[in-house]
Amino acid sequence: MRRKLLKWIVIIIGLLVILYISVFAYVSANKKHIIRLVNDEIGERIDGKVSIANIELSFLSHFPRIGVKLHEVLVTDSMFSAHSHPS
């Protein structure tokens, strides 16, 4: 009974590790496409322009959740030309 339970626990942990590695590989391979999709989606939802230079995934610091870091995010609204101060 214990061996079966241990076997199932090892299988589940192995599948989770494979899933995490797969997600990391997919995001790494498609990073530019994902950034473009995020920029476009946010740009449609706000009245302005959004620019994200890079994204980074963090698996270990927020385990079992996945952390997402956005680098060099620039948001300009429709009134930017009137007030012209980037913050």
Higher confidence at residue 48 or residue 85? Answer: 48
Higher confidence at residue 6 or residue 75? Answer: 6
* pTM summary value: 0.61
Cβ-Cβ contacts under 8 Å for 55 (sequence gap 6 or more): 27, 31, 34, 35, 38, 68, 69, 70, 71
Higher confidence at residue 77 or residue 19? Answer: 19
- The predicted model gives 75-79 an average pLDDT of 76
15 pLDDT band (50/70/90 cuts)? very high
Angle among Cα 18, 20, 25 to the nearest 5 degrees reads: 95
pLDDT tens-digit map of 28-60? 899 899 888 888 888 788 877 888 888 888 877
26 closest CA partner among 36, 18, 14: 18
Structure tokens at 5: 């339970």
